[in-house]
Amino acid sequence: MKRSVKTILAAAFAAAAVSTVAFFALPASAEAASFTVTNSWGSGYQGEITVSNGSSSKIDTWKVELTLPAGSTIAQSWNATLATAGQTFTFTPAGWNASIAGGAATSFGFIVNGSGRPTACTVNGQACTGLTGTPATSSPAATPTGAKPSATTASPTSSAKPTSASPTATTASPTPTRTATGSTPLAINGQLKVCGVNLCNAAGKKIQLRGVSSHGIHWFPSCYPGAALDALATDWNADLFRIAMYVQEGGYETDPSGLTSKVNSLVDQAEARGMYALIDFHILNPGDPSYNLTRAKEFFAKVAARNADKKNVIYEIANEPNGVSWTTIKNYAEQVIPVIRANDPDGIVVVGTRAWSSLGVSEGSSSAEIISNPVNAANVMYAFHFYAASHKDNYRAEVTRAAASLPLFVTEFGTVSASGDGAVDTASTNAWIDLLDKLKISYANWNFGDKSEGSSILKPGACASGTFSGTTPLTESGQLIRSRIRTADDF
């Protein structure tokens, strides 16, 4: 072309429509849980539960049990395994997030059909209590100091406003907004590298980057000021910003110097905020990357030389090849990669794959052709793109197979149909993100723009208004993606 509930609540709170956050105080050296309503609408809401370990010892597993009032049920969940017995909903680890180190936390989310908030909760068999350690008798809608911004923001269509109160000494935000320079993704991970089939940080730890893609930077310049990147870095807690520079359609071929300058400026802005920058050479029509080989060599020679000393740059050399063979794509890659390597020997290069970067699936092929004939270069990953309403189980199965042999990077995905428009497919989107989280595959959602289409993260006119933080400027797609990206990274 792109997350617990204050328990033992009064019935009045069960019917409340505003988004609230509350914390459970458990005995010393025990796990704690927090609940957030991250989005709400007339017939339901989206919730997120964070289980945090306040002790110095590791927790080997966890179990959260929630009870909902009659008429409300959990329709789906992610980052956890859900079991249902009547009105009791039991969440256990998805597998990879069972262990919680001392001082760390893990989160999972769910969709509730119905407006009823939970009336009871236990964490590993211990009763959850309120801020003061006693059951609440009213709806406090408390916002602890240091909590994530906008955690208590109501749905954009709601006129209700949350109140705030100071937390008790035992209350803490389990996933605070990044403010210190040393806590950014870039500061923690440094120069990235490919290790086996994974993306790894400078220390060799397998990691996953989560972020968003711009739309065409020449079409929506008002969407990418410093305030937008501030929101992504500190409100979204994004790790990655993909800079989509179209080549045709009024892009690079029309203004090579101007577009190169814009790309470099956004690389600098991402670096200043501790985010990684994915430079996307956005070919689409024509689908043969060879058509733009000379332009690609020119562009990547310049940006690689200019950004060689930076640790936050990743190069995506061909967005969505289509209508051509894997052999043609591979030949293109093996001519462009040396141009980058001549200036930046350490930068990761992402190679587009056949059939709109679907690993060939959308043209009746598969990843087998890449596995048997990989690009002859080091520090290379392979792009996969999907649109949740169009690409489902067979595509997920192919990604699962391919991930066992190839280092994959989802450089673009949408919550809607492959047209970039239509209704948000929440279930398929969450199934996809659950899979990517499980496999530690990095991703960027399409798109951080305000075009009037289903895949846009921002509502029409949001960029001109200059408002980017919180949920008010976000579309349905934007609210869903923000809620998933804001959860704690596993760095």
Q: What is the mean pLDDT of the chain?
A: 82
Average pLDDT of the residues in 95-111: 77
pLDDT the model gives residue 18:
32
Query: How many C-alpha atoms does 131 have within 13 Å on its Cβ side?
Result: 18
24 in the same domain as 112 = yes
At 186 the pLDDT is: 96
On whether residue 490 sits in a domain, the answer given is no
For residues 370 and 22, the model is more confident at 370
Quote the number of domains for the chain: 2
The pLDDT assigned to 181 comes to 53
412: domain CATH number?
3.20.20.80
Looking at the fold, whether 19 and 74 belong to one and the same domain comes out as yes
Q: How confident is the model at residue 179 (pLDDT cuts 50, 70, 90)?
A: very low
Same domain, 121 and 187: no
The tens digit of pLDDT for each residue in 422-473 reads 999 999 999 999 999 999 999 999 999 999 999 999 999 999 999 999 999 9
Give the pLDDT confidence of 249-274 residue by residue, as tens digits.
999 999 999 999 999 999 999 999 99
Whether residues 293 and 385 fall in one domain: yes
Tell me, yes or no, whether 291 and 370 share the same domain: yes
Q: Can you give the residue range of the structural domain that contains 474? A: 181-485
Question: Residue 286 domain-assigned?
Answer: yes
Q: Among candidates 144, 155, 64, which has minimal Cα distance to 115?
A: 155
Higher pLDDT, 491 or 396: 396
491 within some domain: no
Domain ends where: 152, 176, 200? 176
Is the pLDDT score of 93 beyond 90?
Answer: no
Last residue of a domain, one of 127, 145, 176: 176
What is residue 317's predicted lDDT score, i.e. its pLDDT? 98
Please tell me whether residues 47 and 127 are part of one structural domain: yes
| % of the chain at pLDDT higher than 70 | 80
CATH (domain of 51)? 2.60.40.290
Last residue within a domain, chosen from 176, 209, 233: 176
248, pLDDT greater than 90? yes
Same domain, 334 and 217: yes
Annotated catalytic residues are 320, 412
pLDDT-derived band at 113, boundaries 50, 70, 90? confident
Please tell me whether residues 165 and 261 are part of one structural domain: no
pLDDT in the model for residue 115: 87
